[in-house]
Amino acid sequence: NKIMTKFKKLTAVVCTAILLSGLAGCSDAVAKLKDSNEVLFSVGKKNITKGDVFTLMKQNAGATTTVNEASKAIAVAEIEVTEKMEKEAQASLANYKSLYGDKFATYMKNNNLDEDTYLKEYLIPSLQAKELTKKYIDENFDSLVDTYKPVKATILTFEAQADADAALAELKGGNTDFAAVSSAHNGTGTPVSQIYTTESSDLDALVRTIITSNSPSDPWTESPASDGAKFYVIKVDENDASKIKDDVDTALQKINQVSADASTYFFKKHNFHIYDKTIYDSVKDKYPDILVQDMK
């Protein structure tokens, strides 16, 4: 346990040395520990020092450790801990204990963790990190809407044009139960009113054109697929993103590029800077989106 405690403290020292050392301006700079010769443990006649572990950590886990610790610090700075988060973290802890039993207890013991520390240093920061993308979307909502053009629409899909024609006639006649209409006319899948964006990969090009040009006041519209293999009946439910913000937020959070841009946004806002060449190269290779110090 004493060795584990020292190792956990060394992790914090590693992050501090990497992120805060006075090595700016040196392209081949290397962060060092003042007490690198301090012996942590020995094996036979071989002493293992802080410097040995520091070097090993940088080479094998430096990038991940740095990014994780920086992400945690940014999340803590940006997102206030709410009562809801605390309850969710407590529920997660209870679930882990119930699900994994002795294995979880062994994990906690091996990592020198008590429940309070696990909640405050891992579970709650994890929940705060999830809120970062939401906050990024809130702060950049208009520009994201311009980029991804979210529209809420309902799309019925048919294999035969005759089925699509019949469904269209029924919907235009006033039947509002589009799921029942789809089923009655051999529609495929279960149609739902949902958000579509420019990143909706399963959206046919012709359908995309219709939902981005139509408005909620337009009636149901029929269109063949681009290859003519299917037929669609389409209704735009809402194209004013501000009126369906919660749904749009949820859809945007699922877009990988939005998550990546959110990371870049907050790492840049907090002036994330790496001063150690080994860590810099590793982060550049594994996490280029958050290496913001070279961005203009």
Q: How far is CA 207 from CA 164, 225, 262, in A?
A: 14, 7, 29
Residue 21 has what pLDDT? 41
Where the chain has pLDDT below 50, the residues are: 1-10, 12-14, 16-26
**Tell me: the pLDDT tens digits for 149-184?**
999 999 999 999 999 999 999 999 999 999 999 999
CB 175 within 8 A of CB 154: no
Residue 200 has what pLDDT? 93
Residue 188 is classified by DSSP as: B
Cβ within 8 Å of residue 59, ≥6 positions away: 278
Residue 46 has what pLDDT? 83
Residue 17 has what pLDDT? 47
Cβ within 8 Å of residue 245, ≥6 positions away: 141
Task: Write the DSSP assignment of 30-70 as a string of letters.
Answer: ----TTTT-EEEEETTEEEEHHHHHHHHHHHHHHHHHHHHH
